[in-house]
């Protein structure tokens, strides 16, 4: 176990191509990591007086009341580590209710269970601090400061996410920091390929458990590995284990993470060399503040695919072809140094055409008319190559590929400064703003813990 502080960060993501398709192992997705990161620091902490069992405190100082205190104990029958949230501050408010964070709680239970199974069951108390780069949450211009990490001034539950994959980046960075803190480097080394693979497997298991379902996992994969071409794992890999505290959970988890059990090797495909961004091109994200209900949209699209069979499959196959073409064109431009972006524009337009076809046939607003208008207007700006509604689409955000010149950014910002977009059925109007993020090839990484010291608190 480390006797000093440990810090780890993991990037956000954007699924530029492959929305919905990435749910099926027959297809893949083009995922870009983003330079907006979630940072997690772990350091030694003395347990509060009067507490009779071990305690870990987790804090997210950018939000109001974002403090979670956990007791933990080793469960019998190889059940891993059972984590229990403590009822803090109850003496100040008789109606106080636990402010639960399922992603933190689940990631902690899974990470400690793995630590206890492959390392030492003598887990000492610690203090964990979570910090999010500012672009993860919408911020009014009146509250903008030059601070490295904004004080958002609201409880976490009331913060407006910008859709950059905060939960996956959080679970990945959190898991990596806990493992790096409690396990010797010979057992877990985040800088090694084997360490990253263990982290990927454990973070996927924890993230799916926290969500209550087995997702495609592209967001966790990009948090670990950065930008990549991704093909999902088979869901049965994560369907057989129990919950922390249940008999043999510890062994089941080690089998999954170390790929030593009956389920065998993970069949995830993560290909780094088929994703490149040519010099002179930049990816930018535009936040649309009205947002969409992604889970409901996914259910509707999958239901349409099941009901229509071959008709839907034709749309999916067509999208797969143009998505792969986009990835190939980016690699071609990167390797040739060409500045002829016409074929790239054509491939982006082909993707949008396929997405609109899926929208029309499924009845799901993947690229709704309001987003079509926004993308068309942005695409007319000199220096903008093209853009899409990424991931599941809807009203969350748009992603643009632009020529990496300051005048292009300024023209885009001018266009967006007065742009309003009408949301879903409630008719709400959302503002559109360009985020400061750009593509990031690197995934999870170890950070110097000292640079976060001013945000630590006892």
The H or E element containing residue 85 is strand 81-85
What are 292's two structure tokens?
């969409």
Asked if 12 and 37 touch (Cβ cutoff 8 Å), the reply is yes
What are 375's two structure tokens?
């993308």
**C-alpha distances in Å from residue 82, one per residue of 244, 248, 293:** 6, 13, 32
Asked if 317 and 18 touch (Cβ cutoff 8 Å), the reply is no
Asked if 22 and 232 touch (Cβ cutoff 8 Å), the reply is yes
Q: What is the DSSP letter of 47?
A: P
Nearest Cα to Cα of residue 375 among 349, 346, 404, 350: 349
Q: Is the dihedral of CA 440, 446, 448, 453 positive or negative?
A: positive
Question: What is the pLDDT at residue 263?
Answer: 62
Question: What is the pLDDT at residue 163?
Answer: 84
How many angstroms separate the CA atoms of 423 and 370, rounded? Answer: 8
How many angstroms separate the CA atoms of 445 and 221, rounded? Answer: 14
How many angstroms separate the CA atoms of 301 and 24, rounded? Answer: 13
Structural domains of the chain, ranges and CATH numbers in brackets: 6-272+445-455 (3.30.230.10), 281-440 (3.30.70.890)
Q: What is the mean pLDDT of the chain?
A: 90
Phi-psi region of 12 (alpha: psi -120 to 50; beta: other; left: phi over 0): beta
**C-alpha distances in Å from residue 201, one per residue of 151, 173, 367, 446:** 33, 13, 33, 18
How many angstroms separate the CA atoms of 78 and 70, rounded? Answer: 20
For 89, the 3-state DSSP assignment is coil
Of the chain, the percentage scoring pLDDT greater than 70 comes to 89
How many angstroms separate the CA atoms of 241 and 245, rounded? Answer: 11
Alpha helix ranges (H) inside 138-248: 166-182, 193-211, 218-225
Nearest Cα to Cα of residue 172 among 320, 336, 10, 287: 10
| Window from 69-78, 184-193, 230-239, 291-300 with minimum mean pLDDT | 291-300
Residue 425 has a CB neighbour count (10 Å cut-off) of 6
Nearest Cα to Cα of residue 430 among 439, 419, 441, 438: 419
Q: What is the pLDDT of residues 146-177, one digit of tens each?
A: 788 999 989 998 888 888 989 999 999 999 99
pLDDT band at 279 (very low <50, low <70, confident <90, very high): very high
pLDDT band at 458 (very low <50, low <70, confident <90, very high): very low
Residue 414 has pLDDT above 80, yes or no: yes
- Torsion angle in degrees (nearest 10) through CA of 269, 212, 68, 290: 80
For 289-368, strand residue ranges (E) read: none
pLDDT band at 30 (very low <50, low <70, confident <90, very high): very high
The residue to which tokens 């499959």 are assigned: 313
Bridge partners of 25, per DSSP, are none
Mean of pLDDT values over 57-64: 94
For 340, the 3-state DSSP assignment is coil
């Amino acid at each position: 176990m480390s006797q000093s502080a440990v810090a780890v960060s993991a990037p956000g993501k954007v699924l530029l191509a492959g929305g919905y398709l990435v749910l099926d192992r027959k297809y893949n997705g083009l995922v870009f990591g983003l330079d907006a990161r979630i940072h997690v620091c772990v350091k030694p902490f003395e347990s509060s007086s009067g507490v009779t069992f071990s305690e870990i405190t987790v804090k997210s100082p950018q939000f109001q009341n974002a403090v979670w205190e956990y007791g933990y104990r080793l469960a019998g029958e190889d059940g891993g580590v059972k984590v229990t949230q403590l009822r803090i501050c109850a003496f100040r408010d008789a109606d106080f209710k636990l402010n639960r964070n399922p992603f933190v709680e689940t990631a902690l239970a899974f990470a400690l269970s793995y630590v206890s199974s492959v390392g030492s069951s003598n887990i000492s108390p610690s203090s964990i601090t979570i910090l999010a780069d500012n672009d993860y949450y919408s911020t009014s211009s009146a509250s903008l400061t030059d601070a490295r990490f904004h004080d958002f001034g609201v409880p976490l539950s009331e913060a407006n996410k910008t859709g950059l994959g905060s939960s996956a980046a959080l679970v990945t960075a959190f898991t990596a920091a806990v493992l790096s803190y409690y396990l010797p480097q010979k057992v877990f080394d985040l800088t090694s390929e084997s360490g990253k693979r263990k982290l990927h497997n454990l973070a996927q298991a924890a993230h799916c458990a926290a969500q209550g379902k087995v997702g495609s996992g592209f967001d966790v994969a990009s948090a670990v590995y950065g930008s990549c071409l991704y093909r999902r794992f088979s869901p049965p890999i994560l369907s057989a284990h129990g919950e922390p505290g249940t008999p043999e959970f510890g062994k089941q988890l080690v089998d999954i993470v170390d790929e030593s059990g009956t389920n065998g090797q993970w069949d995830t495909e993560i290909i780094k060399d088929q994703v490149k961004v040519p010099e002179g091109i930049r990816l930018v994200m535009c936040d649309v503040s009205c947002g969409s209900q992604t889970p409901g949209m996914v259910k509707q699209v999958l239901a349409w695919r099941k009901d229509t069979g071959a008709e839907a499959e034709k749309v999916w196959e067509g999208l797969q072809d143009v998505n792969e073409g986009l990835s190939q064109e980016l690699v071609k431009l990167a390797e040739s140094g060409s500045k002829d972006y016409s074929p790239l524009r054509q491939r982006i337009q082909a993707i949008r055409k396929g997405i609109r076809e899926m929208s029309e046939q499924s009845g799901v607003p993947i690229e709704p008319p309001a987003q079509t208008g926004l993308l068309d207007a942005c695409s007319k700006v000199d220096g903008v190559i093209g853009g899409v509604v990424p991931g599941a689409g809807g009203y969350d955000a748009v992603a643009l590929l632009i020529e990496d010149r300051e005048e292009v950014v300024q023209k885009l910002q001018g266009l967006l400064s007065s742009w309003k977009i009408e949301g879903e059925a409630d008719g709400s109007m959302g503002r559109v703003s360009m985020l400061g993020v750009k593509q990031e090839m690197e995934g999870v990484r170890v950070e110097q813990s000292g640079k976060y010291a001013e945000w630590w608190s006892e």
